[in-house]
Amino acid sequence: MWINRFLLCFILFTTSIIADRYPWQPGMTTVGRIDYYMMTPDDSLREVAFRYRVGYDALMAANPYISKLPTASSYVLIIPTVHILPHLEPGININLAERRLYYLDDEQAILYSYPVSIGRVGWQTPEGEFFVQEKMFRPYWNIPESIRVAEAKRGISLPKRIPPGNENPLGEYALRLSSPTYLIHVNFVERKVGLRSTSGCISLFADDMKELYHLVTENTPVHIFNQPVKVVEDSEYVYIESHRPLSEYITDYQQEDKAIEAILTQAFQQQLPVDSDWANRPEMIDYILKTVGIPQKFGKESSHVTRSSG
């Protein structure tokens, strides 16, 4: 089983982790390390996700066998706290497929990483280049008309404006983007962090949002993109991490598995050298299709996954 051949040696390939803050060096390709947690019948998966600052979807993807286990069983949980880095620019970088925000402070040479919620189906978070237009402390929420109309159809009447306070879902700290109806703000429903649960905004755990708010300045660049497959290589190995594509990109639900395979395979091959002779290696494609969200290491010259010798 793929879990048994996990990257114990991958720790050597990553930088040391202090919470979700990492010393930054140009050319870095990964951050973090794998963690494990012994689950007992008294534990909650959502509480574990919050404790380790990973999204609930990411935790479930990394442990696909969970649904087949008896409810009252104890088992080792893999915590997906190692990441191949997408291409990062100074400022805020948000990978929608990964549900993760990276803030690169290139002046202080520090990289911060946070799980985030993004727009639910039908309310997709936009991709593109933006900037922080306004930092807002204890903001008013001017509710977009589109949200008020949608909620009215569900029998919920919303005011046009909600003042700061306990009833305001934006919390105490928010960042308004240059596309002004989109914000980065708190998600008070902690179990929803890491899910597609917003009306298009980006939302974080409360402590993470407070930290990010104090780190950034107005006009900080914000890069929002969708990269379901991340690949790095060295002279001997290829490292691959994949995430399930956003549903908006799956155009044929009658053949959903084939559509997902096509999306992920193309995303993988687009990152490879033109003359690559391992672009169609079955074991690499098979691993990509698992979409467990954890990097795996493959030997370029062999036909099997490289295992740790430690």
154-186 burial, b at 16+ Cβ within 10 Å, e below that, comes to eeeeeeeebeeeeebbbbbbbbbbeeeebbbbb
| Domain extent for 187 | 116-221
Q: Are residues 199 and 124 in the same domain?
A: yes
- The answer to whether residues 209 and 129 belong to one domain is yes
pLDDT tens digits, 21-57: 999 999 899 999 999 999 988 888 888 998 898 999 9
Q: Examine residue 85 and state whether it is found in any structural domain, yes or no.
A: no
Given 184, 202, 221, the domain boundary residue is: 221
The answer to whether residues 244 and 171 belong to one domain is: no
In a domain, 17, yes or no: no
Which of 171, 192, 221 marks a domain boundary? 221
In a domain, 159, yes or no: yes
Catalytic residue annotation: 185, 201
| 145-194: pLDDT as tens digits | 888 888 888 888 888 888 888 888 888 999 999 998 899 999 988 888 98
DSSP letters for 10-21: GGGGS---BTTE
Q: What is the pLDDT of residue 252?
A: 65
Contact 59, 80 (CB under 8 A): yes
Q: How many domains does the chain have?
A: 2
CB atoms within 10 A of CB 88: 17
Per-residue pLDDT reduced to its tens digit, 234-274 = 888 899 999 999 887 776 666 778 888 889 998 998 887 76
Domain boundary among the residues 197, 221, 245 is at 221
The two tokens of residue 292 are 């467990």
Tell how strand 30-32 and strand 82-84 pair up.
Answer: antiparallel
Residue 72 forms part of a structural domain: no
Find the CATH number of the domain harbouring 216: 2.40.440.10
Domain annotation covers residue 76: no
pTM above 0.75, yes or no: yes
